[in-house]
Amino acid sequence: MSNTPHVFVVTCAVPRGSSERLHVELAGRTVTAASPDGFRHTFELPPEVAIERLEWQVYSDVLEVRAPYRSAAHGVDEGGSSG
């Protein structure tokens, strides 16, 4: 797990070639990634993360799950500047 300034990021290795078959599910603050070949990885998101803006993508054999922090969810990610 790692933290970038405005986005919480979790990565984990997944079976090669599983991007089309990988299922990612959110239940409360628990994220579960699973595939038909028996792969399963579960982790909890911290309370300060905006779970309603959760995104995920598979790059080669790595799953990346991203969600903005609530403080960043209003303003920083919505683009533009005032002035």
pLDDT in tens, 5-41: 689 999 999 988 877 889 999 999 999 999 998 999 9
Nearest to 24 by CA among 64, 71, 60, 61: 64
First-to-final CA distance of the chain? 37
The confidence score (pLDDT) of residue 75 equals 42
- Pick from 6, 7, 4, 15: nearest CA to 55: 7
Residue 51 φ/ψ, nearest 5 degrees: -65, -25
Per mean pLDDT, which range of 12-16, 36-40, 51-55, 77-81 is the poorest? 77-81
Q: How far apart are CA 51 and CA 60, in angstroms?
A: 24
Q: Average pLDDT for residues 46-61, to the nearest whole number?
A: 92
Nearest to 41, CA basis, from 79, 4, 5, 11: 11
What percentage of the chain exceeds 90 in pLDDT? 63
